[in-house]
Structure formats: C-alpha cells, structure tokens
Structure 1
C-alpha cells in the first residue's frame, strides 16, 4: 500500500493519487490496466481519430480487472459519434472524462450511470462553467502539458486559482513527471495528479519503440507548442488548442508557417509517409515539459512506485 494518498483518491478506491492522462493513440487498455493494478486510476483515451470500435477493443484489456478504471473522451468526438458515449457508459467506468467541448448533456447521463464526471479546464471561466454544469472533478490542465490544450496558465497558478474558487476536487495536469513535481501539486492542494508524458513512455503504452526513444532523448526545452501537425493531418482541433510536441524537422520547417503548409501537398504527403514509417525525425511525438524526467522505458507499476516514493520523501522534508 502506498503511503501517499488524498481523501479523494481514497474515496475512489485508489492507493496512489495518480491517474494516467487519457492520451488518444497512447493510453490504451493495456496501460490503463497496468496503472489500475498498481493502485492508480487507469484511463483509456479515445482521441480525435478514435472510434467506438477502438474503445471496445481497448476495454477488453480490463475485462479481468476488478479495480476502478476510467475513460477519457473528446467533446466533439462524442458529438460526431454518439455511440462512443453509449459504449463508455455501458462499461461502467469509475470516472468518465469528456473534455474540449461545451455540450454538457453527457454529465447527467454519466452521473445516472454511476460514473464520477470530470473534464479538463485551462482557466477559471471554463472551470466555473463545468461546475455549473454539474461536473464533479476538474482537471487543471496547465500549459506545461503535452498534447492538445489551451496553453493559458502554468499548472500550479491555475491549480491555486481553481482551489480558491471551486468546491469540487481538482486534479493537477501538466509538467508532472517526477516525484518532486507530484509532491508540489499535492502540497498545493490537488486531489491527485493527471500524468501523461511519464506514462507515454511506459512499455504498456501504444507508442512504438522509436517514439519512446525520441521521448527519452528529449528535454523540456526540445518541445514546441504548434498546430503544424493538426494542419498537416486535417485534425479538427481549434486554433485555440495547439499541441505540445517534441520539436523535429517538420516543426522546424513549418511551425509559424501553418497558413502555407495547408497548401503544400508535398509536405503533407511527406509527413504522412513519415508517420507510416515511424520516422520521428518528421513524425509527431506529444510530450510535456516534464519529458526530461523520462530517462528509461519502465512498466507503469515502476513509474507509480517511484513517483510515490519520491513524493513522500519530498513532502516529509
């Protein structure tokens, strides 16, 4: 049993106040099962390119897991494919997160199915709208986070502001990849940590070995917040929600020139070929500012044990 806990984590049946972020294309059922078996809350992520069929396949990894797990969806993904929400609720997740949208009709349905509801927010206004809609848990997604989001505030300043203004549990997300950063979030009042980058490099994630190697070789200063890949791949992320990725040859060439990229069919074909070939000199790898703390490919259980032990030591000092 981990000694590190919070009242919210204990109420959710967790022995560690840690959730893996539901990263689309990265956090599948194998990672969710591994995190859940290790005392955290494992989350399956269905991203902008996901589907109901994909969710059903990933849920199979949790068929023999008795501990709580969660599912993370994208708001417009549910709007385009309503069956995603149906399939998610049918699996009885302990936590259902639907983020990046303003349709709150899912909240009452999830609550009626017995799931705790959560959503990612980037500022106080978004947090207040979510609470008014009945969302039970907020995820304070700071600008340090990898992948998509609104890069408006740092994680700890955002967390502080939300804790002063809302009465629901708040999870900290963005830049938490070490025990010290976990300790800082918990000491600031977070009910848990929503961790992406540290788990993306785990052997249970769906990333390729080459993508994991790119993460291990990178530092936070190697990341860039860009829309280049969204433009190249035709993903429907709004301009207000760019993604933080490890910079490479493609971002060097096109970041800041996205208006030109949309018309350059050769460049678009080039990056698609690189993705198919696993060539991360051009293909995207999402990573947050904590990527420098990722130095090896580990099982999720080892990541949770290390983060908790380091955080416990830091908090006792």
Structure 2
C-alpha cells in the first residue's frame, strides 16, 4: 500500500493539489505531478462515470496522482468508487462523511486513504477509523468544509493527537505560507485556490479572472449556493466562495431560501454556471485569492512554492 509519509517525502515541493470538483481535472492533476507536487482529481456530488473517466485517464497517464471522493454522495453513485479504483491512484481522499464503509476496499487495492477534517472531533474520528493521513482544512479554505476553526489553531490541535501525516489546508498560497505550516509540523500543504485560477484548471476563464481580481476579504462562507441548486450537502458543510450579487441577496437568508427554493432560481443558477456568470454562479475560492494576482500554469504555481526552504532557513536565526 502507498506509504503517505514516503510519498510526500519524495515530492520536490510538498504540495498536494486539492481535489476541487469542477476545477481539478486530469490535466491539472498531471501538471502538478509533473512539476514536483502531487496532483488530485476532484469528483463532485453530481459527477458521472462518463464525465470523470477521461479525467482519470489523463491523470493516470501523467504518473502518480490521487482522487477526491465525497462520502455522503457515494451511496447514491457507488460506480464512482468503482471507476476510481480501476484507475489505481496512489491516494484517495474520502471526505465529507464517514469513510468507514469504503476503507477496507480502498486499502485492499493498495491505495492510501486521506480524509479532510474541520474540527478536532472529526480528526479523532477519522484517525480512529483508520485513515492513513489527515487533511486539516481551516475556515479560510475555499470550497466545501466546516467553517469553524482557522487553519493554524486547528493544525496545532491535530498535530497533538496523531502521529499520522497531517496536511494543512486553507489560506496557503505562497512559499512563506508553506514554510509556516511545515515549521508547525505539517507534512505538506493541500492547496486549492492558486490552482483553481491556473491555466490547466477546469474553471471557466471568467471564474479564473474573478479569483485573480478578488482580495482576501471578498469571500463568504455559505450554504446558499447548495440550497439554491438543491444539492443535498449535509448541513454541517458550507462552502467558501467569492462574494457576488447572489450572496449579497441570500447569504443571510439561507433559512428563508431553504423553506422555499423557487424553480426559477435553481434554473437561473444552473444557467449561470453553464455560462460562467460569476455575478450569480459560485466561484469557490479561499481567502488566499488575494494572493493570486495572475494566471499561471500549474508548474509556475508549484515553482512559486519552491522557495519555502529559504523561509525555513531564515527562521533558524531564532535557534
């Protein structure tokens, strides 16, 4: 079975591309791996085997890769796990729910399991379940997760309760940020937003440009997008996205929206996503959007992290 600590230690830069559904396809995963990180393919809650198979094939051809699956949605579409296992990734992320029903099958295939957590209690639970590594995602992070604790406080908590590899996620977009979490004890960083705005991302160009234009204080954590689209995400998970016209209207009215989702709103949201209308559609990105100032290739993003060693060396003056 893949040894996660050994895999992370073999990377030129200890950065894992977060498996962002709708952004992290095979091309992005392969480019991250080729540049010296670890690329992941994101599988969304409404994905189909037909949609993800080409992405997995591209990632597989690019070398070592991983896949992110959503536990809460797998009972409705177990074929997503089947096709993932058939492509033999090195790592599978089983997050957003209980990984136990799938752990043995993944481990029997020789594949390591990581799980994203947003609280100490979640970390204890997945460690007890038998995952091989933990992704600590703080509230700053883009996309779905628990909007409860910031990255550094949570990272320190989790490092004290497990000796398994721990990856830090949320707000890490520079070599300085990578050095900070490595100095704290993380085995690497789980990075999303800078890659979401990269050339290889599946994001539409309008969404990439919106990320590049955003500042650190221009995101919101909300369930409104999921409610409007009638996605059955567990209510403990919201998503951090760029603030836009839709959130201005609905971010503080989620309960009202849940009580009665107009058909017209759901249809309009679907159309907005198809057309790349960032005034209405969600552009999932974290607070680190303010650190993303231009479109780069995934290789250039990885290279921008490569200077982390200089920051670690600079910190040695305190020793």
TM-score interval w.r.t. the shorter chain?
A: over 0.9
Q: 1:305 deviation in Å?
A: 0.7
Note the alpha carbon deviations across 1:157-185, whole angstroms, 9 max, x for none. 11111111112110001111111111111
Aligned to 2:53: 56
Aligned residue runs from structure 1 range 1-317, under 5 A: 8=5, 13-65=10-62, 67-261=63-257, 262-309=260-307, 311-317=308-314
| Gap regions ≥5 residues in structure 2 | 315-319
Instruction: State the aligned residue count.
Output: 309
Consecutive unaligned residues of structure 1, counting only runs of 5 or more, are: 1-6
Q: Determine the C-alpha separation between the residues in 2 that align with 1:157 and 1:60.
A: 38
Distance across 2 between alignment mates of 1:154 and 1:73: 23
Q: Look up the SS of the partner of 1:16 in the other structure.
A: coil
Report the Cα offset of residue 63 of structure 1. 4.2
Please give the alpha-carbon distance, in whole angstroms, between the structure 2 residues aligned to 1:277 and 1:93: 32
TM-superposed CA distance for 1:212, in Å, is 0.5
Q: State the secondary structure of the residue aligned to 2:255.
A: helix
Secondary structure in 2 matching 1:221:
coil
**More moved, 104-113 vs 241-250:** 104-113
Instruction: Output one character per residue of 1:125-182: Cα deviation in whole Å (capped at 9) or x when no partner.
Output: 1111111111010000111100111111111111111111112110001111111111
- Secondary structure at the aligned position of 2:116 is classed as strand
- Native 8 Å contact 2:13 2:305 kept in 1: no
> Please, which moves more after superposition, 98-107 or 227-236?
98-107
Task: Measure how far apart 1:269 and its partner are.
Answer: 3.4
Q: What is the alpha-carbon distance in structure 2 between the residues aligned to residue 305 and residue 45 of structure 1?
A: 22
CA distance in 2, matches of 1:76, 1:91: 22
Please tell me whether the aligned partners of residues 226 and 255 of structure 1 are also in contact (alpha carbons under 8 angstroms): yes
2:278 aligned counterpart, secondary structure: coil
Report the TM-score, using the length of structure 1 for normalisation. 0.93
In 2, Cα distance between the equivalents of 1:184 and 1:256?
A: 34
Offset of 1:9 from its aligned partner?
Answer: 5.5
Shift of 1:51: 2.0
Give the aligned partner of residue 317 of structure 2. none
Contact between 2:137 and 2:168, CA under 8 Å: does it hold in 1? yes
Instruction: Report the 3-state secondary structure (helix = DSSP H, G, I; strand = E; otherwise coil) of the residue aligned with 1:165.
Output: coil
Matches of 2:180 and 2:71, distance apart in 1: 30
| Superposed displacement of residue 12, structure 1 | 5.9
- Computed over aligned residues only, the root mean square deviation of the Cα atoms, in angstroms, reads 1.5
Question: Is 254-263 or 75-84 further displaced after alignment?
Answer: 254-263
4+ residue segments displaced more than 4 Å:
9-12
User: 1:286 deviation in Å?
Assistant: 0.5
Deviation, structure 1 residue 11? 5.6
> Alpha-carbon deviation of 1:240?
1.4
